[in-house]
Every structure is written in C-alpha cells, then in structure tokens.
Amino acid sequence: MLPLDFIDSMRRQLGAEADDLFRALQSDAPTSIRLNTKMDVLTFPCDTEEVPWHIDGYYLSERPPFTLDPLFHAGCYYVQEASSMFVEQVLEQYLPQDSIVLDLCAAPGGKSTLISEYLGDKGLLLSNEVVRQRVFILSENIQKWGNGNTVVTHNTPAEYGEKCESMFDCILVDAPCSGEGMFRKDPASREEWSLKNVRMCAERQRSILMDVWDALKPGGILIYSTCTFNQEEDERNAEWIADSLGAEVLPIDYDPAWGIMEGTIGYHFYPHRAKGEGFYIAALRKHGAWPAGLAGIPSKALRTDKNSKKKSPAFPAEYEKEMRSWLQHPDHWAIRQNDRFATAYPAKFKDLIEYFAAHFTCISTGFGLGEERGKRIAPQHSLSMAKDLRREAFPQVELTREQALDYLRTAALVLPNAPMGVLLLTYENVPLGFAKNVGNRLNNLYPNEWRIRYQ
C-alpha cells in the first residue's frame, strides 16, 4: 500500500500519468548488473539485455542466487540497479579521466565502482561514507573491483569542506533521501515515508551540500542525485545549489528512447518510463574557473601540509623488491607502510594520498599489497583482487565450483598435488584469493570478515 500523501503529491507532479507510476511501483523490480573488465566474457544462466546508457550494464531476466556465484565474490560484476548507471553519461560528457573525484555518500559502492572504472589508471577517487556500519562493505566492494585508484574514508562532509579546499574536479553527492524510488524494492522505505520526512531529508541534503561545497574547485562539476521523485528533494535542491551556492546547471545528453523525463532542472527516471528504479540526477558547474597553467593538486591545505610532512616508514629494500615483483606495472604504484602492512596506491597521487592518510580516517588506500609475517613478506588478499596483479608471481590452482564455494566459506580445503607454499586460487581463470599449502593441510587465507554464510 502506497502512502496516501505520496499518492496525492505524485498526482500533482505527474497528473494522469501518476497511475502508471503507481502500477509500476507494485510490479517486480528488474535485476541488473554492471560488468567489471576483469573478465572478457561472462555468461548468466538467463536472458540478458543491454542497459542502453552504460556499455557494461545488463538486465538479467531472472535474479540468480548471486551469493552462490564465486565470480560475484571475485568482483567480476556489481549488482546495481540500472538507472544509477546513468552517472556514466555525466562523467563522459563533462569530466576528463585524469580527474580527482569525491564520492561523498558512497556506501555500498555502486557509483564508486562505476567512477573508479571510468577514471582507470589516470584519475583518483575518494570514496567516503559517514555511517560507520556501512563503510566496511564499501571498502570490500572497492577492493573486489580491483582498480587500486580509490581511497576509502570515513569522515563527515564538513571535514571534507574544511580540509580539502578546491581539491576536487568533481564531487558526487548521492544524497540520503526519502527513498520513494525504492518503494518496490524496499518495503521499509514506504513505512518510513511521510511529508515531514521529505522536508527533513531536503534540509539534510542542503546541509551536506553546504558543508562540502568548499572542497569543489571553481569550475568543478557537482553531480547531485537522489533515489526519490519529489521536487522538494530534487529540483528545489538543484535550484538552491545553482542560486545559493553558485553554479551553472549543465544539460546532459540522452536518447529520447531511454524514457528519461526532464525536470525543470535535472533528469528523472520513473520506473513506468525507464527500465530501472526511481532516480534523479542533476549536473552543475561551480562558478569561477581554475587558473590556467596552475598544474597539480590545487588545495591550499595540501600545499602547506607538504612542508611539514613527515616521511612515512619504509620496509626493507628486499621486501619492497619482492612486492613489486607481484605487480604488472610496478612503477605505477607507490608503496606505503602502515605497521606490518603495505598498501599500493598510484604514485602519481602520492602527496595527496599522504595528506589523506595524515588528516582523514582512511579505511583503505589503493589496495593491500603485503603483510610482514615473521621474517618474510606475504601477499594480502586484496592483491588477489587487484587488476594489476602479476599472476605468474604465484603458483595458480584452478578450483571447481564446489571447492571455490568452500574456499569462500573459509572451510578447510583439500587440494592433492598442489604445489607447496602460497598459492593463487582461481575459478574460471579469475583470481579468488590466496591459500598456503603447508604439506599436511592447506591454510585458507580468505578474509574471515568477507566469508560467505549459507547452509
């Protein structure tokens, strides 16, 4: 049952068409996934259809049990509702790939993995989540995606606004909202909905935007999105960004066949028109321009910090040499030591990442590379997820589906005839993680906190 006030307000907003929306909200939500470039071809045991606005997006005619697919855990695809994938269109139309991007409200990471893929080995993504319980799944999804171009943080929008002046070429605020677009997927969102809650969400969205605004460069792109339909949280807030914070509204090109409806500002995805969940998106360019010829990272905070920067500790040279031998492009990465652990992140952004490590709560920077154990260095799990892993650095053992699921449950594995030492386990030739063959048994090194639970 849809809330009555919601029915009234949608009738005012959409007129007679509102009934089509209400019918769509009572139907099943389509299932869609976005493929990772980890695999050339991925087949599903059902029909697939392309998502028209994202080259890697596919609708699945059925919802398979993803938990039982080892390739899902290997980061070969992300289950993401299709409308959200439209963020790609804004990136392609307005953002160079070598940009520094902040995804401020990022968990569980659907849009962050999309942005990370877009930036590839040229740009850097700061992926932030303020709610503690949600930040670890964000970090897990980023590790599994495997690009190594992302720093996951757990900070407030105000901390970004205060400590990162003019640092970002683009900020995505995929704001917490009243969730009208999730009514069919998530029945709890219907129960929590009220006009009062819509007002409260709209105010919170403005406060988030105001807090983070200083972190966007003059001339930088702000992408504002919600998964709700009402104009108070959507158009009114986009207008408020333009008029009060100071930005120009940008048009986004789209094919009329996609079923997108233009708002007075921004673009609505209604499930009775476009195949996906409810979604709203607007792109704006902050007034002003970044001075031509001023290269590098612009933030004032970072420039002053560089002078006072302490040198981070370094592992012995032989450990570093060994870790670099595990990578396809060792020179692309800087290695950072944190206690016993080494992480790899793009060397190009060393100063910036050191700045975040010193001033923010970083959950992960790039990917975990190695861990000092006794008198040797062992690979960390997220190396096995990294696309830059040099697989030949480890003996590889291909698992059956049953063995792969046992491995992902962190169960004991028996692999007769496997080589001794650290092994890279694969399924359908995609890395799943490491194990160590110690002769009489195989130590399962899959992270305990990621293990899958099923009967």
Catalytic residues: 227
Provide the binding-site residues for ligand SAM, judged by CB under 6 A: 84, 105-111, 129-131, 134, 157, 174, 176, 204, 208, 227
Order of strands, sheet of 376-379, starting from the edge strand that comes earlier in the sequence: 333-338, 341-346, 367-373, 376-379
Nearest Cα neighbor of 433 from 17, 6, 73, 9 is 73
In angstroms, give the least distance from the CB of 175 to ligand SAM: 6
CB of 212 to ligand SAM, least distance (A): 9
Distance CA 241, CA 295 (A): 27
CB of 252 to ligand SAM, least distance (A): 18
Closest approach of ligand SAM to the CB of residue 137, in Å: 9
Determine contact, residues 176/416, Cβ cutoff 8 Å.
Answer: no
The minimum distance between CB 427 and ligand SAM, in angstroms, equals: 26
By C-beta, is 154 or 217 nearer to ligand SAM?
154
Q: Pick between residue 131 and residue 438 the one whose CB is nearest to ligand SAM.
A: 131
**Closest distance of CB 415 from ligand SAM, Å:** 36
Nearer to ligand SAM among residue 71 and residue 135 (C-beta): 135
Q: How many CB atoms lie within 10 A of CB 4?
A: 8
**Minimum distance from CB of 170 to ligand SAM (Å)?**
14
Give 224 or 345: the residue with its C-beta nearer to ligand SAM.
Answer: 224
User: Alpha carbon 367 to chain centroid distance?
Assistant: 14
Chain-centre distance of CA 54, in angstroms? 16
Is the CB of 156 or the CB of 337 nearer to ligand SAM? 156
Give me 157's structure tokens: 């929008």
Packed helices 132-145 and 110-119: angle between N→C axes, nearest 10 degrees: 40
**Residue 12 CA, distance from chain mean position:** 35
CB-based contact 222:284 (threshold 8 Å):
yes
Determine the Cα–Cα distance for residues 247 and 284; give it in Å rounded to an integer: 6
∠ CA(384), CA(385), CA(389), 5° rounding? Answer: 60
- Given the complex with ligand SAM, which of 224 and 333 has the nearer CB atom? 224
- Among residues 381, 363, 368, the alpha carbon closest in space to that of 447 is found at 381
Task: Report the residue number, 227 or 357, with the smaller CB distance to ligand SAM.
Answer: 227
Name the residue among 21, 54, 22, 61 with its Cα closest to residue 36.
54
What are the DSSP calls for 363-380, one per residue? EEESEEEEEEETTEEEE-
* Residue 81 CB-half CA count within 13 A: 21
Which helix (H) or strand (E) is 187 found in, with range?
Answer: helix 187-192
